[in-house]
Amino acid sequence: MKNILKIAVIVLILASCKNVEKKQLDESPVEDQQTLHDSNVDNGDSVNYQEIGMKYATSTQKQLGKNLIAAIQEKGTLGAVKFCNIQAYPITDSMATVHHAVIKRVSDKPRNPNNKANAKELEHIAYFKSSIAEGKEYSPIVEEEGDVVKFYAPLITNAMCLQCHGKPNNDIQPEVMTSLQQLYPNDLATGYSANEVRGIWSITFEK
């Protein structure tokens, strides 16, 4: 079970880099939250919510990644910028509908200000960042709040991500930077290097 989850995390990390998607969810404080940083959450016949959350994240990322690669192959990096601006939201929302879940990708340095992480999400981003910086093992986070489950997993940059999220005029070509500035005047999502946490999956679903 633990190996399966580790493989799923690796697949998710290798694929994750594009603009943060958000489907609105009303947040309310809930006491007695249970946060699990250990991937071994399978207790006998109990439901493994971590596996469910990872399934939702990887299937959504697969759809986004497939369409993003097609856009890059057809129109280059500029095509990827336009894809994320126009098509990424509908794809994410459609996957949320399929899974009967709220699926978001949020960041402490959002490209779109609507994708800014809330206080709880910022805590989890900090956890993943510190774990990577210190070379520690980490796992997706699961929180159970009554009849609701919240799942969090990191979005980590790779070489492809840097075409739109790397260093301006170094990783990001001038024409791409111009397009980003036009579409996202308040863009904060640049300056990254490979293997850095750019944000997290934030997924909510019912038990």
DSSP state of 113: G
Which residue has tokens 């790397």? 166
**Beta partners for 102?**
204
Residue 164: half-sphere exposure toward Cβ, Cα within 13 Å: 28
Query: Could you tell me the two tokens for 92?
Result: 């994410």
Q: Which helix (H) or strand (E) holds 177?
A: helix 174-183
Reported as a single tens digit per residue, the pLDDT across 68-122 is 899 889 889 998 898 888 888 889 999 999 999 999 999 999 999 889 999 999 9
Give dist(CA 153, CA 61) in Å, integer: 12
184 and 168 in contact (C-beta within 8 Å)? no
- Name the phi and psi angles at 204, rounded to 5: -120, 135
Give the pLDDT score at 154. 98
Give the pLDDT score at 45. 61
Give the pLDDT score at 88. 86
- Cα dihedral sign, 72-75-77-83: negative
**Beta partners for 116?**
107
CA distances from 85 to 21, 67, 91, 114, 180 (A): 10, 13, 12, 13, 10
CA distances from 180 to 3, 35, 71, 74 (A): 39, 36, 16, 19
So where are the chain's domains? Answer: 2-22+47-206
Full-prediction pTM beyond 0.95? Answer: no
Give the pLDDT score at 85. 86
Give dist(CA 45, CA 25) in Å, integer: 30
Nearest-CA neighbor of 121 among 25, 17, 9? 25
Can you list the residues of the chain whose pLDDT is less than 50?
Answer: 1-44
